[in-house]
Structure 1
Amino acid sequence: MNSKNIVYNKNYIETVNTITPITSQFIFENKEGKVKLRGNNESGNCLFLLNAPKENFDFTGDDTESNLCFLDYTKFYKLYKEFDNPNEDATKSEQAVLDIQINEDTNEAVIMDIQSNKTKCNFKYRLANTDVIKKPIIKENPKLPEFIASINLSKSMVDVLMHRISMIDANYVTFELNEKTCKFIGKNNMTMQEYSEDIKLDTEVDNPIKVTIKADAFKLLPTADYAINFSEQHLIRFEQQRTDGIDLTLFMTTIKGEN
């Protein structure tokens, strides 16, 4: 087998881990100078696109288009974190070194070596074949509807909303857009408990809009700063606001009718 070192950015490794509640099966694609990842949850009402410059997770070392597959990224992440031990004294910091073993006959990566850069310790993680990974339903360049209104949510506000809808075991989340205000409503249809909060819209809407999503989908949202865009065609876009070149966008499908 041939061995190849993976150049990676720790922020990227951590970002991917934040979307494992959606799915932990991944096909990383190296193409067009980027590492691309897409996926969805089992019910298909929460989808994501994650794109970043390939140096964030470069498993080819060149411009060759190739895939790297994980049957369960969370298991890899636990092994990786075992050797991720920062120290104020940089010379004492431990870091994981990632190498992949490539089958010369099939040219497929089959094993990942996760090694300590400080000690002679090594985990071997079995990589997957593309045939055993559930293929994402979201396309690489999906056709999107027109988004007509937006709000911004800070990381702390996302945390607060998550906490408060969990307090009432909400099963639906509704956004009611009217003029310059978006009313966020978490509702438990069984107990009729409800939480609501007014959020300022970035731009005024001409006509009132009401969109509802499953609370279970909303709770899959990684904690971060977001620009949230609304359409009238049963789709909400959640764009993480970042400055590190990593582009993570999530989409949630809305429910027809009122809840």
Structure 2
Amino acid sequence: MGSLEGKVAVVTGAAQGIGLAIATRLVADGARVVLGDLDADGAEKAAGGLGAGASAVRCDVTSEQDMTALVGEAVTRYGALDVMVNNAGITRDATIRTMSLDDLRIVLDVHVAGTWIGCKVAGAAMRAGGSGAIVNISSIAGKVGNFGQTNYSAAKAGIVGLTKACAKEFAKDGVRVNAIQPGLIRTAMTEAMPEQAWNSKMAEIPLRRAGEPSEVAAVAAFLAGPMSSYMTGAVLEVTGGRYM
């Protein structure tokens, strides 16, 4: 039996990239997973590839109504909610000199408000069962700040504070809340960056390679499962040692 056998999980931003890798790992560990994504077709295709233990729901994480429906789907279809992974995110890169206020606000809305809503609705569902694990996906940018990403860096730092505050509020109900800060992870988005930028980031990594989505997923599965039962409010870096 897998470490998450019989558990029910929701993963946002799960149609591709790190979110899909996390959903794939949770299913492999025995969980039944609902994939939420704004890309309904992509989420359906991803869920179809994961077999009978996965389903998909179109979801805008900035909508409390959508997120409530997403969590409700997990509870209705599978009977409970044990794990929530708030992964959905976007970028709108520019230096602060040229970045629009709209691009600041939309990134903060998706990352911070989206994660806040996810914690709120998942926490309510988990409280009824007396246990649960919430995993929020931050970024190493939230620790050190990235050039050209004042919006993204601020948002990812905000997720850290949100995680710790929620961990304190939810602990009495048996619900744990932790976060992951990935570094340079090999995805379609990062591989599209200019070669000079890629090489510059690689030079900062002691392990001398980019990470794989599956390596972030392994940490998410750890935080979702029983081996991390005495951990809450923690922020785990998955960076190959970058910025340690």
Aligning the two structures, in what range does the TM-score lie when normalised by the shorter sequence?
under 0.3
Structure with the higher fraction of residues in strand conformation: 1
> TM-score if structure 1 supplies the norm length?
0.25
Question: Which TM-score applies when normalising by structure 2?
Answer: 0.26
Higher Rg of the two aligned structures: 1
The structure in which a higher percent of residues are helix is 2
